[in-house]
Amino acid sequence: MIRGAVLLIAAALAACQQSPTIIDGSSPESFAATTEKARRDLSIKDRLTFDAALRTVGGRRFADRDPEETARNLYHGLTAADVVADAHARGIR
């Protein structure tokens, strides 16, 4: 009986888990809102990497005139975990 209750509670908790936030780069406003929300999906350590990735995106293209637009285009449709993985691939820790 107790075992069944534990399994039921575990299943209910698994069903309540939120899916990761997808970053929307379609406008500066939606990008700001969704990156802030996506940032909350990460651990503190990964939040620092996430922030660094967003700030250093301009270095990906030589003489980029609008790094904010580049960030919106580059990270549109990704999750915060995807951004952190990309940052690690670029050597950002």
Q: What confidence tens digit (pLDDT) does each residue in 13-57 have?
A: 555 667 999 999 999 999 999 999 999 999 999 999 999 999 987
Of residues 11 and 25, which shows the higher confidence score? Answer: 25
69 burial class (0-12, 13-18, 19+ CB within 10 angstroms)? middle
Two tokens, residue 63: 């003489």
pTM (2 d.p.)? 0.76
Domain presence at residue 65: yes
Phi/psi of residue 79, each to 5°?
Answer: -95, 170
Structural domains of the chain, count: 1
Our measurement of the distance from residue 38's CA atom to the centroid of its chain's CA atoms, rounded to an integer in Å, reads: 4
Domain presence at residue 7: no
Q: Which domain holds residue 53?
A: 19-89
Domain presence at residue 29: yes
Domain presence at residue 49: yes
Q: What share of the chain is helix, strand, coil (3-state, %, to 5)?
A: 65, 0, 30
Domain presence at residue 2: no
Domain presence at residue 8: no
Domain presence at residue 63: yes
